[in-house]
Amino acid sequence: MSVDVIFLPDRITVKAEVGEPLLEVAKRAGITIPTGCLMGSCHACEVEIDGDRTVCSCISGVPGGQEQVTINVYIDPTW
């Protein structure tokens, strides 16, 4: 199933498949998400999904069950 993934703050939208790794979707959209360990331990790659939960994009895929997902990419200036 295909999902519209909207990356904030720039509102860049790309199509992705449910379960596709978030880092790969972001890269395809031309968006760089900072990474550290690539195992979900350091939390450098945290993003907010649909304004209600935070996930590590290095170990998370595009969620299913909806036609559109909003990913808020924010960068921690202290990282």
Domain with 17, as residue range(s), is 2-72
pTM: 0.88
Q: How far apart are CA 20 and CA 74, in angstroms?
A: 20
Residue 77 placed within a domain: no
Would you state the pLDDT for residue 74?
A: 81
CATH of the domain at 44: 3.10.20.30
Q: How far apart are CA 38 and CA 45, in angstroms?
A: 8
Q: How far apart are CA 77 and CA 4, in angstroms?
A: 28
Long-range contact list for 24-32, CB < 8 A, 24+ apart?
Answer: 25/62, 26/57, 26/71, 26/73, 29/5, 31/7, 31/73
pLDDT in tens, 25-72: 999 999 999 999 999 999 999 999 999 899 999 999 999 999 999 999
Number of domains in the chain: 1
